[in-house]
Amino acid sequence: MSGSIRIGRANRLAGALPWLYLLPVVLPLIVWVYEPLGEAAWLSFFEWDMLPDTAKRFVGWANYRNLLALPKLWKAVGNTVIYMLGLLPFSVVIPFAIAIYTQDLPARFRNIYRVLIFVPMIVAPVVAAAVWRWLLDPAHGLVNRLLIGAGFEPVRFLTDPHVAIWTIIFITGWKLIGFATLIAAAANAAINPSLIEAAKLDGAGPWAIIRRVRLPLLSSTAMLLVTMSLLLGAQWSFAYINALTEGGPLGATINIYYLLWDFGFSSGAVGWSASSAVLLFVAFALLAMGLIRLSDRLSFHDD
Amino acid sequence: MMNRRVVLAGLAASPALLSAAPVRAGMAAASIEAPVEINFYNYNLATAGLGADATRKMLREFAELNPMIKVNGIGANAAGFIGRVQADLAARRQVDLVQVIFADLDFAVRSLGAKALEDLIPAGEMAANFEGIAPNGLRLGMLEGKTYGLAYTFSTPVLFYNADVFRAAGLDPEAPPRTWFAVKQAALAIKARTGKVGLATGILGPSAYDWLFQGVIRSNGGETISRDRKRMTFAEPASVEAVAMLRDLNDTGAMANLDTVGGMDSMAAGDVGMYLNTSAVQGALVAGAKGKYELRATTMPRFGDKPVRPNNSGSALVILSNDPIRQRAAWELMKFLTSKRGYTIITSEIGYLPLRTDIVNDPAYLGEWVKAHPLVQPNLEQLKVLEPWEAMPGANYRQIVKTMMDSVELSVTGKVDVAATLKAAQDVTQAMLPK
Amino acid sequence: MMISVLIGRVLPRGVLGHGVMLVLSFLSLFPLYWMVVSSLRPANAMFETSLWPSAATWANYRYTLNAIPVAQMLVNTLVVATAVTLVQLCTAVLGAFAFTRWRFRGQGLAYALVALTWLVPLQVVMIPNFLLVADLGLLDSVTALILPHFASALAVLMTTQAMRSFPRELIDAALVDGAGNWRLLWQVIVPNLRGTLASLAILIFISTWNEYFWPLLLSRTPENTMIQIGIQMFMTQEGNQWGPLMAASTMASMPILALYVVLQRQVIQSFMKSGLR
């Protein structure tokens, strides 16, 4: 019976030692993340252009009011939810399916498939965006040529307000599958084979093994991927929105991250960028904490 | 604020001035007596290709003529360029000469400490240098009566068209449409008879900003902002009428809603009949057209009988130094880059406009080149009536433009009431103007 | 239940599975193929839809090699990506050990704070970090590219997860042998986490390789920047030079592909080895 390395009996007298080990992680994060964030929180109440000689002008909540008054804000929030949910198949369902399926294949096939699935990750986002733009172009794109050949109408993948967001989700997901599959495969391979053997000896068929042995043990990784997808989905799609639609058409593909980046960070007006930063962080932090609580309850360690 | 900086700079530089010729307090040094190093922030250098090569060539020639001035060309990406300059200033790096995009000019003056040439250079020297530059060209870089920048890499909006598509649609390439009404007729004909896109423009889309939009509504007598720069005016009747015209083009299918890059790619690929955008993209279109179709160009369309009133796109050279010696060095560089030789390289090698119109027919400079490249003619024609690209004032200037252009995009491609949409946005942007 | 029986009997699991995998593999590969093919097309044929260029040419590669210092940029990127990967793995291992070996006060809070940093997008902290780097006098150095990436929430989270499922027997055996914490960590635990660490290494390497915004802020001359900046230098105010851009991107992708193929074997082998008895 394997167990966690957290030794049951009181090792609480560990004292300073854990913190020593933790220092290389905590110190850089404080310096490069929390300190600037704190600064941003402070600066979000001012209007300032960052230059050492100019004074900061206190404006109270004005920056936040300006942000919340942006016409596209609620559309961005709604779209963000769509991004989060829409990416789940690409970040969880398909990767796990691939990881589990290819695990049992002969080594040659398994390796080839895994390499091929991973290939999209290698290409830089801006290049991937450019290539997909060409492939999906209504006039000179290969996909539409095939559609027309098959008798359908060409689809305006990036300029039709109803389709555009799904196109971005698809491209983001396409890029993402390799990454998520790698994580899922690592988790899948870490499952103790003796458990699988035991189940086989019990007479369980392949689906039953998956359902009763693998999935429960993969649940913590699955929750990790779900959490990741929900929290970072908006960020991941940023590069493609930036390169392909710039939030359009008419805000169909905008999400909260892009909106705040566009309005907050386009100029050096520190008030705008600082308040955008704080708003983003607070919103997602709340979401994250909710999700972590959920994930702890739902996951299951091989204890 | 600016005076305090200049005085402080003067004090800081006084030891260096001991050996230089006596100079009026606050002005640039009269000449360069000792080696000096300046930083030139430039977005062409951050690209690969003609822009970077030509800029490096000009810097090399300048170095040969001015051995005592060492120029560090610092390339920063055009998107977020002014933010990068600002970050470097905040980090207390030396920023001397900057290629400021016109939309950021007000910001550069009010927040970044751009220097007015009148404050730095003796009037006589300035006048001598400006000979040969048309007055409306000088006005492009002026703010409140002072010259802060000299137009450097800039161009005008041009209507490119595909002569082969015209012929296929039964239109005459020798007589391209000159008014918006004619453009609409031509676009509909192209769409009906060839199935290709009739018209695409670079007016909309966040990276388009508002430079082309300003020219369009100004040609109908409208303005984005009042002359005294205190009121936003893009929801007034003349402007609404212009936007309604664009909406009509969109609704009738004459104009396709292609995004910025998509529009240019489609035109280069030969899928579009007419394309209205900056003449700076000519090189890319020519490369795409080579051996495939015949590319031509004409001036921006007018509204009926009203004169066309285009504004420029692009950048100006602006001096940000506080030290008089570096100011003099930056001015020397600025003079070279905006000299006849400078504009010859800029026009013939990168594809922008010459601010000095006298070199256009001069065989020693651009004479031969202009004859060999007829596509540049509409550009040169519009140079005569060029108006400044208005930079929005205040700390929220970018957000003002974004909000305005978002409402324009909604009005043109959405199903909303144009006047009401523009008015709502105008009210929001009015609140963002500096108090 | 019926479906699984059906799939199990009527359609050999192999065929359906292989079919789906082939489709996914094709979808994954085709855009990359398109990128390579586009790099061989001349400018006036860039948007044609034929599967192989009608007039394939090396001109774009020649142009790219002349226009930007590709080799130098690749070397810079390799150095930075390798350094960041190694550093992040080390800090992650140390941090994960702290979280799993002991129970200590403030543990939950520390974990939450580390995890939360994952949510902070780069743009938010970019400018203050830039100013800090400038104050430290590191503005024109490679160190500036590495420093902010010293610790990564994702790495810590994944490694912690892996360590949590580490088998007890090995720990007990080592402790019985009289191993101290340091030996326990580096000689017992880490060698058996190779699968996770190799996967993490791949992910960190690639994300650093493809990084854009932070190196852009720091880039001052082409010779000192990373390859992603170089690729996007072909997107100019005067239009985008797609051919050279695709050529540059192809050249940038090849090293990573090679690295992945090599490391992938490590990953697989270590999975097989760590088949815990």
Domain chopping of chain B, boundaries: 2-154+313-383, 157-310+392-432
Give yes or no for residue B14 having a pLDDT over 50. Answer: no
Mean pLDDT over the full length of chain A: 83
- Of all residues in chain B, what percent carry a pLDDT higher than 70? 94
Each residue's pLDDT tens digit, A262-289: 877 776 778 888 888 888 888 888 888 8
- For residue A122, name the pLDDT band (cuts at 50, 70, 90): confident
Distance, in Å, from the CA atom of B1 to the CA atom of B365, rounded to the nearest integer, reads 42
Nearest to B97 by CA among B87, B112, B83: B112
H helix intervals, C10-45: 13-39
Evaluate whether B168 touches B198 at the Cβ level (below 8 Å): no
Least CB–CB distance from C103: residue in A11, A110, A126: A11
User: C49 vs A140: CB contact, 8 Å cut-off?
Assistant: yes
Q: Does C18 map to a domain?
A: no
User: A66 vs B92: CB contact, 8 Å cut-off?
Assistant: no
DSSP B135-182: HHHHHTTEETTEE-EEEEEEE-EEEEEEHHHHHHTT--TTS---BHHH
Least CB–CB distance from C129: residue in A36, A121, A145: A36
Evaluate whether A191 touches A221 at the Cβ level (below 8 Å): no
Q: Does A263 touch chain B (CB under 8 A)?
A: yes
Evaluate whether B283 touches B262 at the Cβ level (below 8 Å): no
Q: Which residues on chain C are in Cβ contact (under 8 Å) with A288?
A: 115-116, 119
Same fold, B2-154+313-383 and B157-310+392-432: yes
Q: Does A247 touch chain B (CB under 8 A)?
A: yes
Q: Does C52 map to a domain?
A: no
pLDDT score, position C86: 95
Q: Supply φ then ψ for residue A273, to 5 degrees.
A: -70, -40
Question: CA separation (Å) from B134 to A48, B105, B359, B371?
Answer: 38, 20, 12, 21
CB atoms within 10 A of CB B402: 22
What is the residue type of B198? G
3-state secondary structure of B29: coil
In this structure, which topology does domain B2-154+313-383 adopt according to CATH? Answer: D-Maltodextrin-Binding Protein; domain 2 (3.40.190)
Least CB–CB distance from C130: residue in B74, B76, B91: B91
Q: Which residues on chain A are in Cβ contact (under 8 Å) with B107?
A: 267
Evaluate whether C159 touches C100 at the Cβ level (below 8 Å): no
User: Domains in chain A, please, with CATH?
Assistant: 78-298 (1.10.3720.10)
> Nearest-CA distance from A246 to chain B in Å?
7
Q: Does C117 map to a domain?
A: yes
Read off the pLDDT of each residue in B285-312 and give the average, rounded to a whole number: 94
What value, to the nearest 5°, has the Cα angle with vertex B419 and ends B418 and B424? 100
CB pairs under 8 A between A and C: 289
- Mutation for testing the A interface, residue in B203, B259, B275, B435 having most A CBs under 10 Å: B259
Give yes or no for residue B233 having a pLDDT over 90. Answer: yes
- Mutation for testing the B interface, residue in C221, C234, C237, C240 having most B CBs under 10 Å: C237
Distance, in Å, from the CA atom of C160 to the CA atom of C186, rounded to the nearest integer, reads 15
Q: Supply φ then ψ for residue A177, to 5 degrees.
A: -55, -40
Q: Does A244 touch chain B (CB under 8 A)?
A: yes
- Mutation for testing the A interface, residue in C2, C104, C192, C270 having most A CBs under 10 Å: C104
- Mutation for testing the C interface, residue in B39, B43, B47 having most C CBs under 10 Å: B47
Distance, in Å, from the CA atom of B331 to the CA atom of B339, rounded to the nearest integer, reads 12
Evaluate whether B261 touches A158 at the Cβ level (below 8 Å): no
DSSP C241-276: -HHHHHHHHHHHHHHHHHHHHHHHHHHHHHHHHT--
Chains that touch C (3 or more CB pairs under 8 A): A, B
CB pairs under 8 A between B and C: 100
What value, to the nearest 5°, has the Cα angle with vertex A175 and ends A171 and A177? 115
User: B87 vs C235: CB contact, 8 Å cut-off?
Assistant: no
Question: CA separation (Å) from C106 to A289, C99, C257?
Answer: 17, 11, 42
pLDDT score, position A299: 58
CA C150 to chain centroid, in Å, comes to 15
Each residue's pLDDT tens digit, C47-96: 888 889 888 999 999 999 999 999 999 999 999 999 999 999 999 999 99
Q: Is B372 exposed, middle or buried (0-12, 13-18, 19+ CB in 10 A)?
A: exposed
Region of poorest pLDDT, from A234-243, B354-363, C14-23, C267-276: C267-276
Least CB–CB distance from B87: residue in C43, C217, C241: C217
Evaluate whether B220 touches B306 at the Cβ level (below 8 Å): yes
- B272-278 and B197-201: which strand pairing? parallel
In this structure, which topology does domain B157-310+392-432 adopt according to CATH? Answer: D-Maltodextrin-Binding Protein; domain 2 (3.40.190)
Residue C140 sits in a domain whose CATH number is 1.10.3720.10
User: A53 vs B5: CB contact, 8 Å cut-off?
Assistant: yes
Q: Number of folded domains in chain C?
A: 1
- Which letter does DSSP use for residue C111 in this model? H
Read off the pLDDT of each residue in A134-158 and give the average, rounded to a whole number: 88
Structural tokens at position B74: 């610092």
Q: Does C146 map to a domain?
A: yes
Each residue's pLDDT tens digit, A58-94: 888 988 888 888 878 888 999 999 999 999 999 999 9
Residue numbers of the domain that contains C182: 61-273
3-state secondary structure of B81: helix
pLDDT score, position B311: 93
Instruction: Give bridge partners of residue B72 from the DSSP assignment.
Output: B39
CB pairs under 8 A between A and B: 104
Chains that touch B (3 or more CB pairs under 8 A): A, C
- B69-75 and B36-42: which strand pairing? parallel
Least CB–CB distance from B269: residue in A50, A140, A247: A140
In this prediction the pTM is 0.87
Distance, in Å, from the CA atom of A157 to the CA atom of A135, rounded to the nearest integer, reads 10
User: A268 vs B1: CB contact, 8 Å cut-off?
Assistant: no
User: B264 vs C230: CB contact, 8 Å cut-off?
Assistant: no
- Secondary element (H or E) of residue B198: strand B197-201
pLDDT score, position A189: 74
Evaluate whether B23 touches B30 at the Cβ level (below 8 Å): yes
3-state secondary structure of B338: coil
3-state secondary structure of B313: strand
Each residue's pLDDT tens digit, B401-435: 999 999 999 999 989 999 999 999 999 999 989 88
Read off the pLDDT of each residue in B122-137 and give the average, rounded to a whole number: 91
pLDDT score, position B35: 93
Q: Does C246 map to a domain?
A: yes
Least CB–CB distance from C67: residue in B48, B76, B283: B48
CA B76 to chain centroid, in Å, comes to 17
Q: Does C50 map to a domain?
A: no
Evaluate whether B193 touches B169 at the Cβ level (below 8 Å): yes
Distance, in Å, from the CA atom of B293 to the CA atom of B274, rounded to the nearest integer, reads 13
Each residue's pLDDT tens digit, B56-114: 999 999 999 999 999 999 999 888 888 889 989 988 899 999 999 999 999 999 889 99
Q: Does C185 map to a domain?
A: yes
| Higher per-residue pLDDT: C41 or B22 | C41
Query: Which residues does C61 contact at the CB level (< 8 Å), separation at least 6?
Result: C39, C247, C251
Distance, in Å, from the CA atom of B125 to the CA atom of B117, rounded to the nearest integer, reads 11
- Mutation for testing the C interface, residue in A4, A20, A22 having most C CBs under 10 Å: A22
Cis (ω within 30 of 0) for the bond into B434?
no
User: A5 vs C166: CB contact, 8 Å cut-off?
Assistant: yes
Query: Which residues does B1 contact at the CB level (< 8 Å), separation at least 6?
Result: A53, A54, B113
Question: CA separation (Å) from C60 to B291, B409, C67, C178?
Answer: 18, 36, 10, 63
Distance, in Å, from the CA atom of C8 to the CA atom of B416, rounded to the nearest integer, reads 56
Nearest CA in chain A to B90: A51
- For residue C2, name the pLDDT band (cuts at 50, 70, 90): low
pLDDT score, position B11: 45
A286: left (phi over 0), alpha (psi -120 to 50) or beta: alpha
Q: Which residues on chain B are in Cβ contact (under 8 Å) with C216?
A: 77, 80
Give yes or no for residue C143 having a pLDDT over 80. Answer: yes
- Of all residues in chain B, what percent carry a pLDDT higher than 90? 69
What is the residue type of B176? P
Distance, in Å, from the CA atom of C264 to the CA atom of A113, rounded to the nearest integer, reads 12
Q: Does C26 map to a domain?
A: no
Distance, in Å, from the CA atom of B210 to the CA atom of B231, rounded to the nearest integer, reads 17
